[in-house]
Structure 1
Amino acid sequence: MADKTLRLLAAQINLNGTFHHSCSFKNTNVPLIFVLQVERSSSGTLFTIVSGDEKHSLTVYDPNKDTHRMLAEFIESIANGRMDTAEPATPRVLAESFDRGQLLDTNQQESLNQLVRNGGSLLLDVGLGEPISLAVHRTQSSKGITAILVAGDNCPRTQCFTAYGDDQHSFKRLLQSLNHLVASAASAQLAA
């Protein structure tokens, strides 16, 4: 996404209102024309992206300085039409010396389940030194989720996908992607 659009998003996430955008992406020749609706409240911020007859929304409960980047990745995943596939977004790299055991404790698993059921955002501490940021959008047109996972700040590793199916399938897919992202980030830490 262009720097100009990122700067606009950074300003607009702090406002209530409706904003019209047209932006180009590296993977497509046709610009995405969409309307961004921002609704801020005391419990979080609802971002709604309307493009043609499609409507996607993302709720962020704890906005921070990188919220505009999370929103930009969400918009880019809509533009690219990413679908659920058998392969994860990043290579399957397992760090043998990184002993994860059970990745999430019971409370974290319940938080992840709630995120799949309701949508929103979540920070998970999985022992990497920096938390994993997750944003989940419940699709409107059919059962499923669109998820964005980000590990790290300086050199972030990101996964974005849409999974169609019931909550149990969506939870399994999100947990699988989280496992791959953590393994990839852990192997990068060990290599550094």
Structure 2
Amino acid sequence: MSYALRHNAFACLKAQTNLSGHFTHILRDESNGARTKATLQTEIYLDQVNVKIRMGSTVNSLTLPANNIASARKIAAHLEAIANGTLDTADIPATEHLLADAA
């Protein structure tokens, strides 16, 4: 599958990087008509936007510059990566390793 955000949804997303609120986006796979829904919660603080993305059973968050085209592109790429199952996540070391490093 190859889910993508449509151009008009991206235009809305760009505006949403300067607003606090809850927004819904639908990503579509044009090859088979499949759809998936993403819910974004945005919160503006000073010159940054904190974005919480809920899609399926996943919750991801980003903090980016507010009202910025590059931020909108990053959010769109993040949405598509989550929908397509290609999101790279950080490997968190086991607690024992963290404690050993701290000692």
Compared CA separation, residues 26 and 66, structure 1 to 2 (3 A): farther
Q: What is the count of residue pairs matched by the alignment?
A: 89
Residues 44 and 66, structure 2, Cα contact 8 Å, conserved in 1: no
1:63 is displaced (CA, Å) by 5.4
C-alpha distance in 2 between matches for 1:62 and 1:23:
23
**61, 80, 87: which one aligns with 1:57:** 61
Superposition TM-score, scaled by structure 2 size: 0.72
1:84-163 superposed matches below 5 A: 161-163=87-89
User: Which structure would you say has the larger RCO, counting Cα contacts within 8 Å and 6 or more residues apart?
Assistant: 2
Q: 1:165: which partner in 2?
A: 91
Please tell me the residue identity of whatever aligns with 1:165. Answer: D
Match of 1:4? 8
Contact 2:18 2:67 in 1 (8 A): no
Once the two structures are TM-superposed, the CA of residue 68 in structure 1 deviates from its matched residue by 1.0
Please list every run of at least 4 consecutive aligned residues from structure 1 whose deviation after the TM superposition is greater than 6 angstroms. Answer: none
Partner of 1:73: 77
Q: Is the 8 A contact 1:25 1:76 kept in 2?
A: no
Give the secondary-structure state (helix, strand or coil) at the position aligned to 1:162: coil
Distance 1:22 1:9, change over 3 A: same
Query: Partner residue of 2:26?
Result: 22
- In the aligned structure 2, how far is the partner of 1:80 from the partner of 1:41? 30
Displacement of 1:47 after TM fit? 0.7
Structure 2: gaps spanning 5 or more residues:
94-103
Structure 2 equivalent of residue 152 of structure 1: none
Q: Which runs of 5+ in 1 are unaligned?
A: 83-160, 168-192
RMSD: 2.3
Give the deviation of 1:30 after TM superposition.
2.2
